[in-house]
Structure 1
């Protein structure tokens, strides 16, 4: 009898304890998730690998042998200088908030040199350290201006390139990142850019086009009777492509900031789009030019990866396949026909692949976004009965194009008046490896 009384008393007390336990869970301090943290550490490393050595080898193989070191050096120096710029001020401008209407266009200065960000501070709403998020996003800030290198390769002064790139990161990349990801007006409007279609690829691609036009053509490019300018090392291109493709799995797969089903979906659709675009480009090469080229396949891979980047967190298997197919078609057409016809010398097709591919992916979100990926109540595209997302994507895409083009034109004029941007005719003829760096790649 005594034991039964004690048992009933304990059960009675437990009834009162349950609400207290639930209340304590509701108010619990966020806890670091080691699985999410480990995955984003890996993703950060993968994204850094995209610039060095991935992009460096990809672009380096596409230029002539007398300019390969200049391209490698440009990728190397940007990795170093943008890491410092990002920690010093870039992260704060992109991911902090200002009071009032100014927050729609730019962040504040609260986290300059990462002041106030401790090793135990978690990113708001996530179970990873904020310092890890700083590093992850910093790799996006590094690769974006590096992509522009493809437009002005083989004809730009190193001093002009470096000054332009730092200023561009400060006044073009950082504000646009805030607009889309940091609480600015594009993100608040409901535009989707999971991993950088607007912030990275359209931004860099449009700036690349402006730079190519303002700099002018390389000597002998697209001139009747002149020998074609061809890649000097196709195996470099292949290795660079492989590293970019691998790194892109961290680029897209890590952008959900967790090791979960969304990350798994992003990995899957990234591979599907890359494969679809590569096969599309190869088929076009084979049919039109009678031979399936290695460089064509590699370029197709990049086009598919670019296009799926903004859509990796909202599109499923069907969307990924169509996005890759369309990106392969459209980017091939831009590179093979539009560029020679209009006569702008986008040396390594930074605009034709990244700019155009980014536009394709950003707009097709408005068609293929599905609540099977975005979740109940999430965004969905016109294919599933909601046209509103398409119009939002159009506005975000057009705004990015206009902002990037105008700001790049202004920066070009400023830098050109200070240090000059175009390499001299003599430097271009000798090659930038010798004229700018005093070195040669091959004996």
Structure 2
């Protein structure tokens, strides 16, 4: 399975190339045949050209025309729908901006005929690009994923694998069948070998044979490494006792440049967000008070750095609970959520007061979400390696939040922990930016819960 982000980047670049080709066609072909669709030069069109070139990929990202590249199966109706919505909204946005700014008639890029031709041609191009990328025409062939494991291990591995939808199939294979495939490989193979299989001395020759194969055709990895590469998570059940220690983490160094940049970004961005969103928080606070005359804010104890408790402040989205009410998971359709609270949760506006905790250093913008101490006691007993998530400051958003559904059970928390552990192991400024943009997308689409 190809890296989903590399597929998206290729699609973005190819979409950009398509826009430039279409622009060239509009500039040069119609005059040759005596058909005027726009103009013959770009003088005075620079800002509108940049706006048009950036608008389409932004809306494509927002409406999911790039997300389909991550799916295991590419359904044509959904692809047509998402490309169509992107094109229609692009034309509408240009029309609205044109009406607001009212540019001179010489700005032909915003003509309706130009925009319609541009979007129709670009939609066709984008469709071909996505089909080609998914069928491997523009990429090397994706390897077949095989699992070499003992019979008692297979159900556990497959159950963990199937927790993440829209991924490549993982096929169990026994030693005899694998030897046959190695003799006649019909496509590249990526073989995940379980820990028990590696310890079985009767399979030493097979494992040695795997290691001696051309790695461009056949590669073998551990089960944990398979999840790390293909699903970008580290399921704790496969980590064993010493998968990594604090010293192995990217920011463990005292003078880590990326860690210092992260803290600086936390301070600058949190301060700016508080200034920009203050009017929205004030309006939300007023609506909360009007709805039931209850308190506007909700303070709660959470576990932070190394499990130390701290207080988070949120806009209240639930009915006022008794002080001695036990901690409960938030469920789909939870009756405790108020009407105003449901809206605030969808756009994540209720989380904004936590920016104060970012400024004080108790939280970061990006990191594992802080959990309630009373729930963590149960989670630590049920899920191995759970306390490792405390090796970093908790965050407003995180890799688990943008990759996994809302946690409402121990099983959901186990899934989210697998993403938190991946983030700890692979922390970087680039990954923080990926999380930030995916969080922005969730907010713009009101996809919170």
TM class, shorter-chain normalised?
Answer: under 0.3
TM-score (norm 1): 0.26
Pair member with larger Rg:
2
Which protein has greater RCO, CA pairs closer than 8 Å, 6+ apart? Answer: 1
More strand by share: 2
TM-score (norm 2): 0.26
